Structure 1
Amino acid sequence: MSKFTWFTGRGPALTQQQLQRRDELRMPAPFDERPLHQQRFVVLDLETTGLNMRRDQVLAIGAVVIDNGAIDFAEQFECTLHQPDHQASASTLIHGIAPSEVARGVDPAEALLEFMEFVGSSPLLAFHAGFDQRMLARALKQHLGYRLQHSFFDVAEIAPLLCPQSRIRQGGLDEWVAEFGLQVHQRHNASADALVTAELALMLFSKARRQGIDSLCELERQLASRRRRQQAM
């Protein structure tokens, strides 16, 4: 049997072991009525070559886990992906990932398999999650032939839902960090940004419980209701 199995067309080439690992990835768990503090979340941040979701590539993945109402520092994920011919750009000044570091990075298929094994069946949290979701989904399809089905919750959407008194409506992570008085020692690094997002999410979940929103099902209902109200305006 050949070491590699080729997909038809322009799909990726994966070893038999990688194919088996891909096929054994866990499906996302359905939402239920368990309290938020009993849920496991994976908080994700990506560093990319730019902001074009059709053309740019994922350079680094950083993630932390919220489990049982706290950040589990024993469960963290950090990986730089190898991208051939990567060159410094304006984005390098923001994320600080040098081309030499990318050249030494992990093969994207292997990195993405490891990350999805880390995720398991958990929902994902991110700040401005639509970007991370699109970039991750494209990378998974490109390098693994895998369709992302996990749910994403956007902390940038949850924050104004739970803090209607705040004047922040479409602010960035820095604005909400300042609103809650969080101490941030590092930013614009995938792992550091994932950690800050997780700290913010925990404070928001505390507010959610006080407002009677204490399950993923109820949180999704409230977010959907807010989207409908905004569309009607």
Structure 2
Amino acid sequence: MWRGLIRRLDRARLTDPRFAFLFEKGPPDEAVALDCEATGLDPRRDEILAVAAIRIRGGRILASESFRATLRSARPSSPAAIKVHRLLGAEIRQGLDPAAMLPELLRFIGGRPIVGYYTDFDVRLLDRHARRMLRIRLPNPRIDVSALYYACKYRGAPDYVKIDLSFARIAADLGLPPLPQHDAFNDALMTAMMYVQLSDMLERRATIPRRAAEPVESAAFGA
């Protein structure tokens, strides 16, 4: 209910009518997998360094219909963050201005649902720029693959079952290829693959078996 209210308020606040399409329904049976790499883990303070988005249509991942950009940032990454996203200062200094990137990204996404892994983090990063430029937050529906995975594997599980919703665990259970993690395009592509597979499983009411011990070779996923 509260998201519906925020959506109505934001539509009234929109300062540029050219972006009214964000509040319309996207093409049927389409979604966009999205991933952002940032200077840290605080969406209120940290900045986007790279963003990638890939369209999904009718259960097909359209890798040729993708968006990717590296952004300039005045906020330096911490050494720990650099080890994760592996973007060096020279790459960031040569990146796009966020104000130039956002209109292109919004046109690419349109009114489609945004699919992500812990989607709220990525959307909150983008919302800061959308508020600055258009006085709105992204109104798109959000689909989190960790919630789909939970429904396929842990729904109805006893309290003593250990729940693991890590990206690596989801990828391992679904048999996805071990693309290096923390690259925006790779993560968006793997998220899209998770979404397609988990959506199909939920539609067929298929489940993922729970096992007592589930080792994950985290190095294979770039962790």
- TM-score, shorter chain, exceeding 0.5: yes
TM normalised by structure 1 equals 0.73
CA offset at residue 87 of structure 1? 4.9
How many aligned residue pairs are there?
188
Identity %: 29
Q: Which residue of the partner structure matches residue 71 of structure 2? A: 81
Q: State which of 165, 169, 172 in structure 1 corresponds to 2:166.
A: 172
CA offset at residue 85 of structure 1? 5.5
Q: State which of 98, 110, 115 in structure 2 corresponds to 1:108.
A: 98
Contact preservation (8 Å) 2:49, 2:73: yes
Distance 1:137 1:70 in 2: 28
Distance 2:127 2:142 in 1: 11
Q: Which residue of the partner structure matches residue 203 of structure 1? A: 197
CA offset at residue 168 of structure 1? 6.4
Amino acid of the structure 2 residue aligned with 1:187: Q
Distance 1:90 1:208 in 2: 37
1:73-117 CA distance string (max 9 Å, x none): 221111011113535532011001111111101111110111001
Q: Which residue of the partner structure matches residue 65 of structure 1? A: 55
> Is the alpha carbon distance of 1:85 and 1:121 closer, same or farther for their aligned partners in structure 2, counting shifts above 3 Å?
closer
1:163 aligns with 2:153: yes
Distance 1:143 1:80 in 2: 19
Q: Structure 1: which 5+ runs fail to align?
A: 1-18, 213-233
Distance 1:103 1:87 in 2: 12
CA offset at residue 30 of structure 1? 4.6
Distance 1:65 1:168 in 2: 33
Quote the RMSD (CA, aligned, Å): 2.5
Distance 1:95 1:170 in 2: 23
Q: Which residue of the partner structure matches residue 182 of structure 2? A: 188
Q: State which of 22, 27, 39 in structure 2 corresponds to 1:27.
A: 22
Contact preservation (8 Å) 2:72, 2:93: yes
| Moved >2 Å (runs of 4+) | 27-31, 84-89, 142-147, 162-170
Q: Which residue of the partner structure matches residue 140 of structure 1? A: 130
Distance 1:148 1:185 in 2: 29
Q: Secondary structure at the match of 1:156?
A: helix
Distance 2:38 2:116 in 1: 15
Q: Which residue of the partner structure matches residue 43 of structure 1? A: 33
1:97 aligns with 2:92: no
1:9-42 CA distance string (max 9 Å, x none): xxxxxxxxxx99x5312124459xx9xxx51110
CA offset at residue 69 of structure 1? 1.3
